[in-house]
């Protein structure tokens, strides 16, 4: 008789739940970690006496419900979908109204669970619970070597059960995380220190109806106190040999991979000692931390099309002569490393004045990749004298005063061993003519003296005319004439522009920028 009663409950319940195969909503969400004890809560303290409880399950996308567990006042029955760990939390559910289900779920146990309470074949209450399973992956596997990149990956199945997943470090410190397709929500910590060990917290925020706004899970991360990670297999790009003008923005190329953090090292120009390499910039996009050297005013992370926030790295340098040299950009992604080197020469033109000449200096750095440097005048037929006081400087002179022959554009051209050329131009111009007001003011004293002589000249002319008339009565005599010639000489004073005017620069294509390894 009891078997018939249980069979009747099963058949009738199956029919009811099959009709609800199109469930798009639920009464509660439970997020559980695989293998951890989990309770699906179903309570109704108003129900007591001769009641029966049916627990059913339906996988997402399935059309039919399957019986998990059925119980009445006389007997408990397990269905085909039951697990060995499944049981009611309270055997006295008829007295307490607690019909909750307890078990150790696995990934395949996710889905919709229905708690149906019946009394004398009459439905009293039904509660639909969505069970989601959280999977957490920690790499590398603990204990983790120091300086490794910690990866914490969390995913929830079914995916529609969760709105967001967040991570926090020891002490509740919020961590940056990113949601990636087919992987889950990832949080990373590059360059782990021993102090980074501890308890990390994964928080899952459910979507839809839920009795809880979030679920938290602890993840223990331990570090190896003695082992330190290394990067023996660094992928190197081809050396880029190039040049740029001083105080002009120049891009420093990094490996074209998405990374977790970037480091830029610099070997000063014309230096061969490896111990002279300096760290000039570092950026960790997961921690949001930045290291800047004394070059920070002239060096910065590049903007679009690059985006350091997403791991696309490049730098912009506005160099002085001293900023030439070898730049090494290293990008780290998880436990892989990529490196790109750029050998840079910087060109700058300056002027020096002396009483007799104007000196035009062409300065350049990183001599190891320079093939030649020379001055040219805009008049190609004019040959210039050049000398070099020390390596990295070539000088030509212009005699003073400036003439129409010596005025014009003077260009210093730098040619690299890979054939690339770059140049800077200094304009040398004739001085402007002296202003008329200055010349007039310098003549005022002479004009004043002439005005004082006018009466005297008039009197003399009158006397001469009287004498001529008087003498004419006596006969002819030679006439008197005056010639007053004056000249003003203006010497041109030397002028020059202390700041060179950069007129043009030439760069090869991206392919030509690449050269053989130094």
- Among 178, 160, 153, 162, smallest CA distance to 214 is for 162
Query: Which option is the CATH number for 347-431+497-513: 3.40.50.2300, 2.60.40.10, 3.40.50.300, 3.10.20.340?
Result: 2.60.40.10
Options 3.40.50.450, 2.60.40.10, 1.10.3470.10, 3.40.50.10070; CATH of 234-345: 2.60.40.10
Please report which confidence band the pLDDT of residue 469 belongs to, taking 50, 70 and 90 as the band edges. very low
pLDDT exceeds cutoff 80 at 407? yes
Residues in CB range of 258: below 8 A, 6 or more apart: 310, 311, 312, 333
Question: Which CATH code is given to the segment(s) 140-228?
Answer: 2.60.40.10
Higher-confidence position of 65 and 454 = 65
271: pLDDT confidence band, cut at 50, 70 and 90?
A: confident
Query: What is residue 433's predicted lDDT score, i.e. its pLDDT?
Result: 64
Looking at the predicted structure, is the pLDDT value of residue 311 above 80? Answer: yes
- From the list 230, 131, 216, 235, the residue with the least C-alpha distance to 165 is 216
Q: How confident is the model at residue 372 (pLDDT cuts 50, 70, 90)?
A: very high
In the chain, residues under CATH classification 2.60.40.10 are 2-132, 140-228, 234-345, 347-431+497-513
93: its two tokens? 């559910």
Q: What is the DSSP string of 328-397?
A: EEEEEETTEEEEEEEEEEEEEEEEEE-SSEEEEEEEE--GGGEEEEEEEESSTTS---EE-SSTTEEEEE
Q: How confident is the model at residue 48 (pLDDT cuts 50, 70, 90)?
A: confident
pLDDT band at 435 (very low <50, low <70, confident <90, very high): very low
pLDDT at 194 over 60: yes
| Residue 131 scores a pLDDT above 50 | yes
Q: How many residues does the chain have?
A: 518
Which residue bears the tokens 């050998």? Answer: 343
Q: What is the mean pLDDT of residues 276-283?
A: 93
Lowest mean pLDDT among 120-129, 233-242, 398-407, 461-470: 461-470
Q: What is the mean pLDDT of residues 308-334?
A: 95
Pseudo-torsion of CA 138, 142, 147, 152, nearest 10°? Answer: 10
pLDDT at 25: 81
Handedness of CA 282, 288, 292, 297 (dihedral sign): positive
Q: Kindly tell me if the per-residue pLDDT of 64 is higher than 50.
A: yes
pTM of model > 0.75: no
Instruction: Say if residue 143 is preceded by a cis peptide, omega within 30 of 0.
Output: yes
Residue 23 confidence (pLDDT): 54
Lowest mean pLDDT among 170-174, 358-362, 456-460: 456-460
Q: What is the mean pLDDT of residues 246-270?
A: 95
pLDDT at residue 17 is higher than 90: no
Who has greater pLDDT, 199 or 289? 199
Report yes or no: 60 and 110 within 8 Å, Cβ to Cβ.
yes
Mean pLDDT of the chain: 81
Closest to 143 measured CA to CA, from 202, 220, 231: 220
Class of domain 2-132: mainly beta
One DSSP character per residue, 168-210 reads EETTTEEE-EEEETTTEEEEEESS--GGG-EEEEEEEEE-SS-
């Amino acid at each position: 008789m009891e078997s018939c009663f249980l069979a009747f409950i099963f058949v009738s319940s199956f029919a009811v739940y099959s009709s609800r195969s199109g469930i798009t909503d639920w009464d509660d969400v439970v997020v559980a970690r695989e293998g951890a004890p989990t309770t699906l809560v179903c309570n109704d303290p108003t129900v007591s006496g001769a009641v029966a409880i049916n627990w059913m399950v339906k996988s997402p996308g399935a059309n039919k419900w399957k019986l998990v567990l059925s119980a009445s006042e006389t007997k408990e029955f397990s269905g085909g979908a039951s697990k060995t760990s499944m049981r009611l939390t309270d055997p006295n559910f008829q007295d307490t109204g607690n019909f909750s289900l307890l078990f150790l779920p696995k990934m395949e146990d996710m889905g919709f669970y229905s708690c149906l309470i019946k009394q004398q074949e009459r439905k009293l209450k039904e509660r639909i619970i969505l069970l989601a399973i959280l999977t957490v992956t920690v790499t590398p596997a603990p204990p983790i070597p120091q300086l490794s990149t910690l990866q914490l990956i969390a995913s929830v199945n079914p995916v529609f059960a969760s709105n967001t997943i967040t991570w926090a470090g020891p002490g509740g410190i919020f961590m940056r995380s990113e949601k990636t397709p087919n992987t889950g929500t990832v949080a990373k910590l590059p360059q782990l220190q021993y102090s980074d060990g501890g308890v990390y917290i994964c928080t899952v925020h459910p979507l839809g109806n839920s009795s809880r706004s979030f679920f938290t899970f602890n993840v223990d991360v331990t570090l190896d106190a003695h082992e330190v990670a290394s990067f023996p297999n660094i992928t190197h790009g081809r050396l880029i040999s190039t040049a740029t003008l001083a105080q002009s923005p120049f891009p420093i190329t990094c490996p074209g991979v998405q990374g977790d953090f970037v480091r830029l090292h610099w070997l000063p120009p014309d230096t061969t000692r490896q111990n002279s390499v300096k760290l000039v910039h570092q950026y960790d996009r997961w921690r949001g931390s930045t290291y800047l050297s004394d070059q920070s005013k002239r060096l910065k992370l590049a903007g679009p099309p690059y985006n350091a926030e997403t791991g696309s790295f490049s730098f912009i340098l506005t160099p002085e002569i001293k900023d030439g040299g070898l730049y090494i950009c290293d990008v780290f992604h998880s436990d892989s490393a990529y490196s790109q080197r750029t050998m840079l020469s910087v060109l700058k033109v300056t002027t020096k004045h002396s009483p007799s000449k104007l000196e035009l200096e062409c300065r350049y750095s990183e001599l190891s990749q320079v093939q030649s440097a020379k001055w040219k005048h805009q008049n190609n037929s004019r040959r210039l004298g050049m000398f070099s006081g020390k390596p990295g400087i070539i000088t030509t002179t212009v005699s003073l005063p400036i003439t129409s022959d010596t005025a014009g554009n003077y260009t210093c051209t730098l040619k690299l061993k890979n054939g690339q050329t770059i140049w800077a131009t200094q304009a040398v111009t004739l001085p402007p003519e002296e202003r008329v007001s200055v010349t007039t003011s310098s003549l005022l004293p002479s004009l004043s003296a002439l005005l004082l002589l006018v009466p005297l000249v008039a009197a003399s002319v009158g006397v001469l005319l009287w004498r001529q008339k008087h003498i004419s009565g006596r006969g002819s005599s030679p006439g008197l004439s005056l010639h007053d010639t004056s000249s003003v000489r203006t010497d041109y004073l030397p002028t020059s522009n202390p700041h060179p005017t950069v007129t043009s620069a030439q760069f090869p294509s991206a392919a030509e920028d690449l050269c053989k390894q130094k």
